[in-house]
Amino acid sequence: MQDHIVVLTGAGISAESGLSTFRDNGGLWEQHSVYDVATPEAFERNRDLVLRFYNERRRQLKDAQPNQAHRLLAELEKRYRVTIVTQNVDDLHERGGSSSVIHLHGELTKARSSVYPEPVYDIGYNDINPGDCCDRGEQLRPHIVWFGEEVPMLEKAAEVVRTADYLLIVGTSLQVYPAAGLVYEVDTDVPITVIDPGEPASVSRANVIRKGAGEGVAEWVSRLAGNR
């Protein structure tokens, strides 16, 4: 049976493909805070602003390309069972070749009713505009888990982490809960590696590679091959 590698990824891996984050911009987007565009209350208060924010992110994503880290993680599937658990809402893991990806915080290329969680529609990189409705006539919204909302994929992700033979953490400070709690689901004898060029996530007994996502994943893959 193939060893199971579980990879937790965050904004740092997508940043190397040119996708900016709120942190890159001092926590602001056009002078708006994350709470102006990423909460249910924000959508109710200013629907047009929220839709415009995600439309711009979708256009940015369309022009972005998977980077070395995405591709290396996908190539691991030739020798291992690999599951990506990502906090990112982009599709760069899939476009990089990964076949098993769990999106904790939703997907930018999908939309759903603003009233009910289902059905979910694939919209690609197209805009969602005021007046765009689902089959029941309700306004569409991005298929994103906003602040204050439940994380429906969390339990599935926890189940996956519990089956890991290796846990790799790339590009996330693990400061956002409940996603940050996933690291505590891994068995105590499972090797944990954190890849981060700055101040890495504080994870007990973890090995740390202080490099960017692409360079760090390349080093980790090389170490893994040497241990086989």
For residue 168, give both structure tokens. 């790799």
Give the model's pLDDT for residue 177: 75
Q: 3-state SS of the chain: helix, strand, coil percent to 5?
A: 35, 20, 45
Give the Cα separation of 37 and 54 in Å (integer).
9
Residue 17 assigned to a binding site: yes
For residue 52, give both structure tokens. 């415009």
Instruction: Name residue 60's amino acid.
Output: Q
User: Which domains does the chain carry?
Assistant: 1-19+66-105+152-228 (3.40.50.1220), 20-63+106-144 (3.30.1600.10)
- Do you find a cis peptide bond into 117, omega within 30 degrees of 0? no
Give the model's pLDDT for residue 28: 47
The model carries a pTM of: 0.92
Q: Tell which residue, 75, 83, 67, has the closest CA to residue 166.
A: 83
Residue 171 assigned to a binding site: yes
Give the model's pLDDT for residue 228: 58
Q: How far out from the chain centre does Cα 96 lie? A: 14
Residue 16 assigned to a binding site: yes
Contact 17, 69 (CB under 8 A): no
Exposed/middle/buried for residue 78 (C-beta within 10 Å: 0-12, 13-18, 19+): exposed
- Active site residue: 70, 103, 105, 143, which one? 105
Give the model's pLDDT for residue 206: 84
Exposed/middle/buried for residue 26 (C-beta within 10 Å: 0-12, 13-18, 19+): exposed
**Does the annotation mark 103 as catalytic?**
no
Sequence-separated (6 or more) residues with CB below 8 Å from residue 31:
none
Q: Which residues does the chain have with pLDDT short of 50?
A: 28
Residue 23 assigned to a binding site: yes
Give the model's pLDDT for residue 172: 87
Residue 29 assigned to a binding site: yes
